[in-house]
Structure 1
Amino acid sequence: MSGRCDLTVALVEITAEQLNQRREELLAALPFDEEELFKRAADDHTASPDEREIYNELVEIDFLLGK
């Protein structure tokens, strides 16, 4: 054994259109608006686990979109 580690990296390409579509899907799943979600998750820390998951994904999408 050479001690060398071969790592395989898979790259996934996604368009801004796909990211925005996913963002809309996530927001449509909520019974309230985005502002309320961010308030619950970031400010009040009262978001449910599902709301927190949606919040985290929205933050990731916004990062990828450069927002």
Structure 2
Amino acid sequence: MGEFSRTLRKFRTEAGLSQEELAHRAGKSIRYISLLESRKHQPSLATLKKSCVGLGGAMTEFVAEIKSL
């Protein structure tokens, strides 16, 4: 699994969110979140930002986690 996908899933599960809840918070579809987590789609920066907001965290924390993998 790619670093982005792994980090998204990790942050989502640590936040106690389902894919459905994250999708709702980020203004995306559940299918889209699933595609991101399964490495079948890469997000735009705008989507990354919305996902981080939905996760309740800062984009810098998310990117730092990706870089540490």
Q: Same fold (TM over 0.5)?
A: no
Larger Rg: 1
Q: TM-score, normalised by structure 1?
A: 0.32
More helix by percentage: 2
| TM superposition score normalised by structure 2 | 0.32
